[in-house]
Each structure stands twice: as structure tokens, then as C-alpha cells.
């Protein structure tokens, strides 16, 4: 029964995400309500699947709606601080960690001037987390690394990395895209 409830709620969140994609002009008046409800569900929900879906919905909202609406409802500074604290203080599942990093990248990109004071901290935390995840060969977390790479897509527009960090980042990303020697087809590790 619990699995069916989780599946049903996940489908509702997916439906809402699709609705926002195609009918964003109708949803703009309900953004505050959507934000409050999804935030409450995220905090109270135990299901990692639903949390992942909510993070995906939030990313879509941040990418879809105008800055003025997002600024009023999500309050980027407070939201970024809460996401950074969640990354730093909690042990998160890989898909959750990846979703949070994706949202952090979107926030920094969209609200670049307002979040200027957080850029160095975000870059430092992301860099250390990325290197840590990629160097853990025994338990490589694909979904977390994918979210971090998505975040880097936004953050590299205004990078705050040292030359040695850029070099190390290049080496790690290059090693991730190296084809496996014993594979019959081209795959990335």
C-alpha cells in the first residue's frame, strides 16, 4: 500500500512538472502555493524517490519562470543557504545530493549578482565534494556526480577556482570520460 501511495504522489509531481513546462503562464499565480507544498513534503517525506522528484520540479520551476517571481517566492539567499547546509550537514542519498547541486548551480547562474557572496563557498564545497566522489572508486555515486556536473555547467560561466583546482578538475573529468579498456562498446566509467 505504501509503495502505491509513493508511486501515486510521484506521478502527481511528474504531472505538475509537465503541466508547468507546457502551461507556465497559468501556473505563475500558484508558484507560492507550489513552493510551500513541495517544501513541506520534502521536509516530511521519507521516500527518496519523492524527494528526488520534488528537486527535479524545483529545478524546472527555477528554469521556467521569470526572475522577479522566483526572487519573491524562493528568496534565493535563504534557499541557497539551506541547500548548502543540507549538503554540508546531512548524509544524503546520491540522487538527492545530485538534485541539490543542480538547483544550486541554477540559483547561482540566475541570481549571479544577488548571490555574489556565496560563489566562492559554493565553488569550494562543490570542488571538494566532486573530488571526493570521483576518487571513491569502491562506491562511485553516479547520480551525485551527474548533479555536480550539471551544477558546473552553470558555475563555470563565472568560475572562482584556482589554477590548480581547474587543472585537477580537468584531470578528474578527463578520467571519467575515458573508455573502459575491457568493454566491447564505448562506455564511460
**pLDDT for 124-156, tens place per residue?**
888 888 888 877 666 767 788 888 888 888 887
Confidence bin at 170 (pLDDT 50/70/90)? confident
Residue ranges in the chain assigned as alpha helix (H): 2-22, 24-27, 31-44, 48-64, 67-74, 76-89, 94-110, 119-135, 142-155, 163-176
pLDDT tens-digit readout, 23-70: 888 888 888 999 999 889 888 878 888 889 999 999 999 999 988 888
Confidence bin at 189 (pLDDT 50/70/90)? very low
Question: Residue 18: how many CB atoms within 10 A of its CB?
Answer: 11
Q: Looking at 17-26, 77-86, 140-149, which range is the least confident one?
A: 140-149
Residue 182 predicted with pLDDT over 80: no
Amino acid at each position: 500500500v505504501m509503495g502505491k501511495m509513493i508511486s501515486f504522489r510521484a506521478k502527481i509531481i511528474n504531472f505538475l512538472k509537465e503541466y508547468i513546462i507546457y502551461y507556465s503562464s497559468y501556473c505563475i499565480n500558484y508558484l507560492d502555493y507550489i513552493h510551500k507544498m513541495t517544501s513541506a513534503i520534502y521536509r516530511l517525506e521519507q521516500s527518496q524517490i519523492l524527494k528526488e522528484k520534488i528537486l527535479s520540479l524545483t529545478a524546472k520551476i527555477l528554469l521556467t519562470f521569470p526572475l522577479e517571481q522566483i526572487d519573491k517566492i524562493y528568496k534565493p539567499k535563504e534557499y541557497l543557504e539551506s541547500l548548502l547546509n543540507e549538503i554540508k550537514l546531512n548524509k544524503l542519498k546520491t540522487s538527492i545530493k545530485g538534485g541539490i547541486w543542480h538547483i544550486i548551480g541554477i540559483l547561482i547562474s540566475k541570481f549571479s549578482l544577488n548571490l555574489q557572496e556565496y560563489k566562492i563557498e559554493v565553488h569550494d564545497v562543490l570542488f571538494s565534494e566532486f573530488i571526493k566522489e570521483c576518487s571513491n572508486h569502491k562506491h562511485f555515486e553516479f547520480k551525485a556526480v551527474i548533479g555536480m556536473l550539471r551544477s558546473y555547467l552553470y558555475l563555470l560561466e563565472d568560475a572562482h577556482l584556482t589554477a590548480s583546482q581547474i587543472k585537477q578538475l580537468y584531470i578528474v573529468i578527463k578520467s571519467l570520460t575515458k573508455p573502459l579498456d575491457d568493454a566491447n562498446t564505448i562506455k564511460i566509467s
